[in-house]
Amino acid sequence: MLDKNYRLFGRISIIDIVLFILLVVFVFSARRFSAPQSVAAAPGDVAIRYTLELQRKLPDYINKIQTDTDIYDNLRGYYIGRIVDVYDEPYLEDVPDHDNEIIRRVPVDGLRTVYVVVEAAAQITEQTTTVGSYEILVGKDVFVRSKDFASSGFVVIVERDI
């Protein structure tokens, strides 16, 4: 069956068989993992609304942000939506209360947390939500700008079908 050169029936090498099997496994794996997504996951424009949290801002910072203004990613310049609402709340920090042995959230004088609500047409798939080439994820650190301001913050809320 095997000769001295490790050939099967004198024609096919064991190494050739192993390489052929590996090639077949690779081809099937490549087809499996590069298959197109299902029809249910096909992207299409869906209206979304997401909220950016900008922390540790001065009280008058909210006046710099105008509604009905386009907003862009400050790093690459991608359009990421239109500002529809802006509001602020006191900036809170965790402070230990040694008497009661707990941690309290207390407002910091002179600082505000500004929330910027943005609407955009997004592409939604099973894996991701994107506005153009910009991925929208809750918890994502974002650097944004408009014609009136530039800042960094986090995406804290993403709503679909508004």
Give phi and psi for 29, each to the nearest 5: -65, -45
Coil/strand/helix, residue 128: coil
- Beta-bridge partner residues of 49: 119, 159
Q: Are residues 122 and 43 in the same domain?
A: yes
Q: Are residues 88 and 145 in the same domain?
A: yes
Tell me how far CA of residue 145 lies from CA of 47, 48, 117, 135, in angstroms.
Answer: 21, 19, 14, 16
Domain residues for the domain of 129 are: 39-160
Q: Are residues 152 and 139 in the same domain?
A: yes
Minimum mean pLDDT range among 4-13, 15-24, 64-73, 99-108: 4-13
Minimum mean pLDDT range among 1-10, 93-102, 111-120, 128-137: 1-10
Q: Are residues 24 and 60 in the same domain?
A: no
Q: Are residues 97 and 118 in the same domain?
A: yes
- pTM, rounded to two decimals: 0.71
Q: Do residues 157 and 50 touch, judged by C-beta distance below 8 A? A: yes
Q: Are residues 8 and 54 in the same domain?
A: no
Domain count, the chain: 2
